[in-house]
Structure 1
Amino acid sequence: MTEAMNETGWAKINLALHVRARRPDGYHEIETLFAFVDGGDELRAEIADADSLVIDGEFAGALSAGGDNLVSQVLTLLRERYGADRVPRLAVSLTKKLPVAAGIGGGSADAAAMARLVRRYFLPEIGDAALARLVGPLGADIAACIASATCLGVGVGAELSPVPELALAGTPVLLVNPREAVATGPIFAAWDGVDRGPLFTGADLRAQLFAARNDLQRPAIAGCPAITDVLTALGELRPWLARMSGSGATCFALFDAAGECDMAAQRLAASHPQWWQMTGVLR
């Protein structure tokens, strides 16, 4: 096989994220609704004499291309599990289009993309669940990013179940980040410990989402006040839902029509040209 192999690390958003409790192991019990956008980082790979990773793109400077990169770790882990005869050495290029430490699963999405690429070309018999069990321990969001489909995550976010009542595919979405990195660990640590109730899903999608929340939004804003500016600006664009994703600082807005989303993106680019943004639809 000499042709280039390709895979996308789809951007993740948390439509809602309820933090329920701190765990003795330092993690948190959460309930979250994952959704994925039809755009993200791009991976390319070719069989080579030795593994390598080259990173380009707008946000390449924020990442290490060494062995600590999740992409490299996934490749090593899969080779250790299945052997070098099945998982060859690969020269990998990552085009980093998504901001780093942004609450949209960039590192986890890239790790999942690497796992899917290896599975597609070399391990086609491995299902999503088995793949997630193997590489999921590298990051709490990786299991959800393997499938990159709308789902409910509980526990630390890695126990997944489908939510077919959330028929969101094709929903126009605008992602906005004020170009400020927000580290996940300190935001979870700053959660006030108050359990504000469970996350429910049901037939009335909008009512359920309106009633939901992101419990990390308050501590994230305390560390990154620009999140408030982004949410205020998004609210003025009249989406049917706007919320912070993950631990921030990226926020999202959902619209009824692509034209509305595109117009909102144009207005935002004119009023806040310094912010990063991406438009797309939910997968």
Structure 2
Amino acid sequence: MITETAPAKINLTLHVTGQRSDGYHLLDSLVVFADIGDQITASPASGLSLRVDGPFAAGLEGDDNLVLQAARFLGPQRKARITLTKNLPVASGIGGGSADAAAALRALSRLWDVPLPQDVAALGADVPACVHGKPLRLQGIGDRISPLPTLPALDILLVNPGVSVSTPAIFKALTQKAHPPMPEVLPDWPDAANFAGWLARQRNDLAAPAMQLAPEIDAVLHRLRASNCLFAGMSGSGATCFALFLPDGYSAKAAQAQIAAETPDWWAAAGKVN
């Protein structure tokens, strides 16, 4: 049996810099991954099957699941028994489906002893970044990936208020489509506080339209910013938000425990930035 994790993908920044004539939006985003995520297991079998379990498994066992699409993409005639343990909320701005597809590709590549394909963007714009799985700068429509140097060590808290948001609806609600990108040359960040200060001068251009459609996001951000974190923001198109903490192994978990006690209907998970 082969096991691969599917770590949450967090957009620490998300600058929308334009829109192409075919409707695709142009982005400039700093992306990291957390040791919080789903899990894929794969083992030999006489057919290709997918079983989904975990707290967010409901409704995901259909034939259109990206995990099955990834399996057919990698080996159209190959067989495997795949289990997806779904720990991340669905449609929540942290790349869950794309991360699952990337983890399935990695697991099945090992199981079948075949190389990973180069054209994984055919499975979705976020899949190449999730296959990379390390801090990166994502530009264009997600097709331009630049690895980042080692970032300062950080703990992270992810919080979702239990609402799903439509990414197409949020992009549609974004009236201005051409915003400035991040600096062409990113700075060196000597420590976590310096990095957090730089993030505070950047943006997520989808945050305002997302909060219009899901006001709960504003409540999450307000709560996170009161948690003595270094920086808090919304990931992707929401509704999951994040808070960054010094890597003391305590502060993020303490904030998670307090949020869980005060708002038990929210999903909250603490971990480390990979």
- Structure 2-normalised TM-score? 0.93
After TM superposition, give the deviation of residue 123 of structure 1 in Å.
3.5
Pick one of 13, 16, 21 that aligns with 2:13: 16
Deviates more, 1:187-196 or 1:255-264: 187-196
- Is the 1:176–1:252 Cα contact (8 Å) retained in structure 2? yes
The reply to whether residue 181 of structure 1 matches residue 164 of structure 2 is: yes
Q: From the superposition, tell whether residues 124 and 50 of structure 1 become closer, same or farther in structure 2 (CA, over 3 Å).
A: closer
Separation in 2, partners of 1:123, 1:171:
35
- Is the 1:51–1:89 Cα contact (8 Å) retained in structure 2? yes
The reply to whether residue 58 of structure 1 matches residue 55 of structure 2 is: yes
- Is the 2:42–2:111 Cα contact (8 Å) retained in structure 1? no
- Please name the residue that 2:106 is paired with: 116
- Please name the residue that 2:188 is paired with: 203
Q: Size of the alignment, in residue pairs?
A: 266
Q: Cα deviations across residues 200-219 of structure 1 (Å, max 9, x unaligned)?
A: 32124333211111000011
Q: From the superposition, tell whether residues 234 and 280 of structure 1 become closer, same or farther in structure 2 (CA, over 3 Å).
A: same
- Give 1:138-217 correspondences, 5 Å limit: 138-164=123-149, 167-168=151-152, 170-200=153-183, 201-204=186-189, 205-217=195-207
Secondary structure of the residue that 2:75 maps to in structure 1?
helix
Pick one of 204, 210, 218 that aligns with 1:220: 210
- Please name the residue that 1:258 is paired with: 249
Q: Which amino acid aligns with 1:46?
A: S
Q: Cα deviations across residues 46-81 of structure 1 (Å, max 9, x unaligned)?
A: 111111111111111142x2221100001001113x
- Please name the residue that 2:85 is paired with: 95
Deviates more, 1:257-266 or 1:173-182: 257-266
What percent identity do the matched residue pairs reach? 42
- Is the 2:5–2:38 Cα contact (8 Å) retained in structure 1? yes
Secondary structure of the residue that 1:239 maps to in structure 2?
coil
- Is the 2:2–2:110 Cα contact (8 Å) retained in structure 1? no
Secondary structure of the residue that 1:55 maps to in structure 2?
strand
Secondary structure of the residue that 1:188 maps to in structure 2?
helix
- Structure 1-normalised TM-score? 0.90
Structure 1 residue runs of 4+, over 6 Å off? none
Q: Which amino acid aligns with 2:230?
A: W
- Please name the residue that 2:43 is paired with: 46
The reply to whether residue 74 of structure 1 matches residue 57 of structure 2 is: no
After TM superposition, give the deviation of residue 154 of structure 1 in Å.
0.3
Q: Which amino acid aligns with 1:264?
A: A
Secondary structure of the residue that 1:261 maps to in structure 2?
helix
Secondary structure of the residue that 2:12 maps to in structure 1?
strand
Secondary structure of the residue that 1:43 maps to in structure 2?
strand
Q: Which structure has greater helix proportion? A: 1
Separation in 2, partners of 1:60, 1:17:
28
After TM superposition, give the deviation of residue 25 of structure 1 in Å.
1.4
Separation in 2, partners of 1:152, 1:163:
7
RMSD of aligned alpha carbons: 1.4
- Is the 1:62–1:100 Cα contact (8 Å) retained in structure 2? no
Q: Which amino acid aligns with 2:221?
A: L
Q: Cα deviations across residues 181-228 of structure 1 (Å, max 9, x unaligned)?
A: 012111112111243311132124333211111000011111100000
The reply to whether residue 247 of structure 1 matches residue 237 of structure 2 is: yes
